[in-house]
Structure 1
Amino acid sequence: MRDFICSKFSNVEPSGIRKINEKTLEMEREGKKIYHFEVGRPDFDTPKVIKDATIKSIERGDVFYTSNFGIMPLREAVAEKLREDNNLDYSAKEILITAGASEAIFDTYSLILEEGDEILIPNPCWPNYVNAAHIMNAVPVRYSLSEENDFQIDFNELEELVTEKTKAIVIITPSNPIGSMLSKETLENLADFAKRKDILVISDEIYEKIVYGTKKHYSIASFDEMKERTITINGFSKTYSMTGFRLAYIAAPEEYIRVLNIIHQHNTSCATSFVQHAGIVALKEGQEGAQKMLKEYKRRRDYIVEKVNSIDGLSLNNPDGAFYAFINIKGVGVSAEEFCKYLLDELCVALVPGNVFGTAGEGFVRLSYASSYEDIVEGLDRIEKACKHFMNK
């Protein structure tokens, strides 16, 4: 019998994060206590006001198909949020509601990428952006975010990577997996670069509300002449701990949204009806809960930074946002894969090797601090034991 599986899937890797998560679940079934730092899922319950709105929406009978674009009150609420928070002037007609940010990525790639097109993707980066490009038969081209450059874009490198086939560049700020943010200066330079090279910017801003200290998030679409060449992806999962609700949105010029909606029609139809109604409440009434989560993330981050930098062999730049610590383990003297394997097998601590996110991640591990403070304290003590184990060999 001939092989019916598309050859393009030979380039699509299964999620390295989920691979580790599956192993932890298997270990838990064996009765082991696992310290989970592998998955970027907030450990907080969804704020009660949002859950109540979901239940009321179901009881009210909001259980049928909606407009493919999403319900108008939610699209209007998103447009209002973008005006107030991001200095972005979008109408409801320029908003598409999707079933999570993952769908938004696939829809966006389907819109712009043809076979052989090239797309610039950060290295390191959340793997979905790379694998989705392979699924489109496009070519992911990686640009470096290096610790030495404070994880900012190196525009000399970018100049060398752009070709006639380059269609777009992906940015994620705050970053998954690094926790860094692109500065206003970097974004201004990128805006100039995109206009000069005539490429599109796909701006993933899913972590925009999880920002620490005096740092400020900027939406690149708000810069001069950038709205027409930016597709912004954002959602509810991280800010409001709504990962299971599968609710996100795309903001883009209306001509893009019209075609994106056709793609969305044929693969999803619409985001879940009652979840969309809960999304309105999240935007209008969910800020108190979001701020409580942010305060706790900051407490965890501050402890992690101090503790990690006290451990021989490790170092960590202070994360600006999100809930990830991208820890430099080069001083320990082993690969990220070996370090993480030992931690999980011997000490029941689950981290993600940095190379899961790209070649620039080798020598780093990602620790998600969407986990309890108590688990973080114990987990870092065990990480310190692992460092001593390898360095005393």
Structure 2
Amino acid sequence: MRYASVTDRLAGLAGAKWALHARARALKAAGEDIIELTIGEPDVPTPTRFIEAAHRSMLAGRTGYSNGRGEPGVVAALAARYSARRGREITRDQVMCLPGTQTVLYAVLRAMAETGDEVLIGDPMYATYEGLIAQTGATAVPVPLRPEHGFRMQASDVAARITPRSRVLFLNTPHNPTGAVLRTEDLRALGALARTHDLWILSDEVYEDMVFPDVPFASPLDLPDLAERTVVASSISKSHAAPGFRSGWCVGPAEFCARLLPLSETMLFGSQPFIADLTKLAVSEPSPVAAGMVERFSRRAAIIAQTLDGVGGLRVHRPEAGMFALVDVRATGLSGEAFAAGLLERHRVAVMPGESFGAGLQGWLRLSLTQPDDRTAEAANRIAAHAASILGNAA
């Protein structure tokens, strides 16, 4: 049988990156005591009041068809939220609601790029980004995010990779997997390049509410001179501990949203109204769980750094936001994949190999900060023991 070329472009770009996580889950299901530091699932349940809001909405009959833009109530709430946060008016026709950030990014990139185009993307990158770009037919052009710059994208690195085929500058701030947060000066420099070369700016800001203390958050949407070319994406998955509800949105120019609407209608023809009602409540007030997660994740990042940084040549990159820390294991002589595989089999700790996030993290690990403090500390001790055993065998 014949298949569309998109199936070839996406082959190996989805579940294959999560093979070690799947192995850990299988061991856990078999009764093994696994410390799981792989995926970024909030460490608290979805707040009861949000579940109750969705339940009330369903009982009230909010279970029918919606529309491709989003229910009027949540669209209005998001317009008000972004107007307040960005310091300028964001209108309802600048908002689109779709099921989760992943769907938002899929649709937005589909509207920005196609075969023959190039998308500039930071390397390392979140594991699904390569596939999101590939599905459009465009080519991902990795821009190195360097540890010496705190993994913040540098305009000079972007400029060196711009060609006549460049169409999109794809940002992620706060960044997964590095926890880096772009500053206003970074965005001004990157925005100047986007204006000069007529690039779209797509910014995934799903961790906006999870920035650590004393770290300023900035968005390209803050800058009026970038308004005509900027689209930001987010959701309630992380900030409100509600990943299973699949409720996301994008905010951008009204013309862009009008052009995106037929695509949204063709893909989905609307999200569930009862989830829209839950989301309206969630985005209309501060998250009841984000501040607690920020405090815990920051503390656990410190636990990992205190236990591992400098031990056996390991280096820990402390995040500025989000729910992950990075560990450089290159001093052991192993790849991140080999180190992580041995760590799981011998010490029953599951982490993500850096290679799952691009060439820029070869020889690194990504550790989730979502386990309790004592389990996080125990995992760090086991990582140290694994590194020591590797170095001891090498000697």
**TM-score, normalised with respect to structure 2:** 0.95
**Following TM superposition, by how much is the alpha carbon of 1:219 offset from its aligned partner in structure 2, in angstroms?**
1.1
1:287 lines up with 2:287 in the alignment: yes
> Which has the higher mean CA deviation after the structures are superposed, 89-98 or 17-26?
17-26
Q: Distance in 1 between matches of 2:217 and 2:92?
A: 23
SS state of the match for residue 96, structure 2? Answer: strand
Q: Distance in 1 between matches of 2:284 and 2:198?
A: 37
SS state of the match for residue 327, structure 2? Answer: strand
Corresponding position of 1:74: 74
**1:86-106 deviations in whole A, cap 9, x for unaligned?**
335211111001100111011
Corresponding position of 1:221: 221
Q: How does 1:1-393 map to 2 (within 5 A)?
A: 3-12=1-10, 13-285=13-285, 287-309=287-309, 311-393=311-393
**1:328-364 deviations in whole A, cap 9, x for unaligned?**
1122221111100001111111111111111111021
For structure 2, list consecutive stretches of 5 or more residues without a partner in the other structure.
none
How many residue pairs get aligned? The number is 391
- Contact 1:42 / 1:371 at 8 angstroms: preserved in 2? no
**Following TM superposition, by how much is the alpha carbon of 1:156 offset from its aligned partner in structure 2, in angstroms?**
2.6
SS state of the match for residue 287, structure 1? Answer: coil
**TM-score, normalised with respect to structure 1:** 0.96
- Contact 1:47 / 1:286 at 8 angstroms: preserved in 2? no
> Which has the higher mean CA deviation after the structures are superposed, 16-25 or 176-185?
16-25
- Contact 2:122 / 2:142 at 8 angstroms: preserved in 1? yes
Q: 1:378 to 1:107 in 2, by over 3 A?
A: same
- Contact 1:145 / 1:152 at 8 angstroms: preserved in 2? yes
Q: Distance in 2 between matches of 1:58 and 1:286?
A: 24
Q: Distance in 1 between matches of 2:136 and 2:280?
A: 33
SS state of the match for residue 269, structure 1? Answer: coil
Q: Distance in 2 between matches of 1:8 and 1:264?
A: 19
Q: Distance in 2 between matches of 1:125 and 1:226?
A: 23
Q: Distance in 2 between matches of 1:310 and 1:149?
A: 20
Q: Distance in 2 between matches of 1:366 and 1:149?
A: 18
Q: Distance in 1 between matches of 2:264 and 2:5?
A: 25
Q: Distance in 2 between matches of 1:104 and 1:230?
A: 14
- Contact 2:17 / 2:127 at 8 angstroms: preserved in 1? no
Q: Tell me the amino acid that sits aligned with residue 368 of structure 1.
A: S
> Which has the higher mean CA deviation after the structures are superposed, 153-162 or 143-152?
153-162
Q: Distance in 1 between matches of 2:353 and 2:15?
A: 12
For structure 1, list consecutive stretches of 5 or more residues without a partner in the other structure.
none
**1:217-271 deviations in whole A, cap 9, x for unaligned?**
1111221311110011011101011100000101011111112121111111112
> Which has the higher mean CA deviation after the structures are superposed, 223-232 or 11-20?
11-20
SS state of the match for residue 179, structure 1? Answer: coil
- Contact 2:184 / 2:219 at 8 angstroms: preserved in 1? no
- Contact 1:17 / 1:39 at 8 angstroms: preserved in 2? no
Q: Distance in 1 between matches of 2:203 and 2:214?
A: 22
